[in-house]
Structure 1
């Protein structure tokens, strides 16, 4: 969910919610707090402000959860820090672990289904 990605971004940037909100042009953090707690969905202009305030953030990741949290750019002036690269790696590992857990759960369910089908077939024979 986009709320959790914004929370992850705030944590990865190592800023407070209030500082994050101020970078978006908000005087108080209420709007961001409402988004983080699911009371409000972020509007397009809010997402655009995040990407303008933090140009190192990958828009595909922010909006759809695809790819890395931070852009990996080739130009030296736009290079991300080692810390941001590490956060990218940590996030990728987190995503991989989640996918592995889901695949394991699916695999276990399929094994159970196959075993039940075998038992039903054996009872009919």
Structure 2
């Protein structure tokens, strides 16, 4: 998943419009954010920094690299996440687990087929 997709997921999770998201970053209009979301621009460092300052509950590792949960955990001092955000985190983890399970199942099926072919010889 690329940063454009993660930004869209974040905006969706925050349940705000792109324009409101842009305004929280100090932008008057949403053009810059729209261009980022559609892949015409890549977010610059200052934009990422503004996002993390405006939304301290966002996990920087997730935003930058797609690693971990979208929102920080409860034991983080600046987390301040809501129950709804925790539910989104759980949903995201379940989605990741389902993807991994599907990949493991495909690998398992391939290995079984190879083993069956070897036994047939």
TM-score range for the pair, normalised by the shorter chain length: 0.7 to 0.9
Instruction: Mark the structure with the bigger radius of gyration.
Output: 1
- How many residue pairs align between the two structures? 120
**Structure 2 residue aligned with 1:9:** 10
CA RMSD of aligned residues (A): 2.0
**Structure 1 residue aligned with 2:80:** 79
**Structure 1 residue aligned with 2:46:** 45
* Unmatched segments (≥5 aa) in structure 2: none
* Unmatched segments (≥5 aa) in structure 1: none
- TM-score, normalised on structure 2? 0.86
1:107 deviation in Å? 2.4
- TM-score, normalised on structure 1? 0.83
Residue 93 of structure 1: SS of its match in structure 2? helix
Q: Which moved more, 1:64-73 or 1:14-23?
A: 64-73
1:94 deviation in Å? 1.1
1:117 deviation in Å? 4.2
